[in-house]
Copies of this chain bind each other. A is one copy, B any other.
Amino acid sequence: MPSMKDVAQIAGVSVSTVSRVINNSIPVDKRTRLRVEKAIRKLHYKPNLLAKGLRMRSGGIIGLVVPEIIHQTFVNFIHYVEEQIVDHGFDLILGNTNEDPEKEERFIDSLIRRNVDGIIFSRVSDQSRVFKILEKTNIPVVVVDRFLEKEHIPSIVLNNYKAGILAGSHLMSLDHKNIACITGPLNIALCRERLKGFKTILSENGILLPSGFIYEGDFKFESGIYAIKKFLSDGIKITSIWAQNDMMAIGALKELNKNHIRVPGDISLIGMDNISSSEMVTPSLTTIIQPFQEMCQKAVQVILNHIHKKEITLNRIVLEPSLIIRESTRPLKR
């Protein structure tokens, strides 16, 4: 690979001049600029990014930390973050922590040592020790899909409370009164928020959500299956269910099918996330959409603002979910 030196030699100038031409930082004489550009073309010269990054203390890289790769939510984050990032001339280093604090720490470490320009986390735990490490680096950081109570770190979150409201309202608008909920892990705040919104809107309309009507799952397909098994063996009478993500909703659908309970004929079903399978299954799922693309846009924006020393976002940015009605919900027949 040719270096600036080579270009300088061919153009008959010094390396600083070449640098100036490339970054057009300082005015350069038209004629010499032309000579330099010609040399650059001739050699197919491209500045080395490590040298540049080393010198500028800025690697031209954004790190994205996900707790899992094979999971549509994070695939969305990866997709949209990549899209945003390359648009702004950065490269993306992807790291999967597998929820392992040690892997997480190693990855963050590596990012710091690469002079990254920013780090985007999706769904870290409050406990995560990495924030302590990052505090002393002034590397721009943002958390997506999770609000950290204690830390003063900007986060982009969904209005999960509202999601619960949307699900509940829709079901009630269809006249359902016997309603169940399959939640995600309740040690995750966003699951509690969703449930809270759901409960609130129901109770405001005089509908109770007994604890037996709530099944705590883990966001996986199997949870949906177990939930239905539980509901069935408990013999509770319900006409509708909200599952806090599509995966569990589809699990529920599968188990309902197996027991010859029709959706939406006997039971209306709502999911959340709008994963691709949600419109592929029969019946297609009524679900709640998270604006993933917008979340990632905001996340990258927060980083860029920080880099350019504009307003540093210290609070949270809240985005709104929306309902998409498909085939799995219908008015209660009397």
Contacts and interface: CB of A to CB of B under 8 A. Distances in A.
Interface of A: 1, 46-51, 53-54, 59, 61, 69-70, 75-76, 78-79, 82-83, 86, 91-96, 103, 106-107, 109-110, 112-115, 137, 221, 247, 250-251, 253-254, 257-258, 276-277, 280-282
A-B pairs, 3 with minimum CB distance: A69-B79, A277-B277, A50-B54
Stoichiometry (number of copies):
2
A285 to B, nearest CB: 11
Nearest to A281: B281
B75 A91 contact: no
B94 A48 contact: no
A113 B61 CA distance: 13
Contact of A114 (B91, B221, B250): B91
11 contacts: A1-B113, A46-B112, A50-B114, A70-B276, A78-B94, A82-B96, A93-B94, A94-B94, A258-B282, A277-B277, A277-B280
B96 A93 contact: no
- Give chain A's interface secondary structure class: helix
B47 A50 contact: no
Contacts of A109: 46
A137 B70 CA distance: 33
Contact of A91 (B1, B78, B110): B110
B113 A49 contact: yes
A310 to B, nearest CB: 24
A273 B79 CA distance: 21
B49 A110 contact: yes
A198 B86 CA distance: 41
A184 B78 CA distance: 26
B96 A83 contact: yes
Contacts of A78: 69, 78, 94
Contacts of A51: 54
A265 to B, nearest CB: 14
B113 A46 contact: yes
Given A70-B276, A82-B96, 9 more contacts: A46-B109, A48-B54, A50-B54, A54-B54, A70-B79, A78-B78, A86-B96, A280-B281, A282-B282
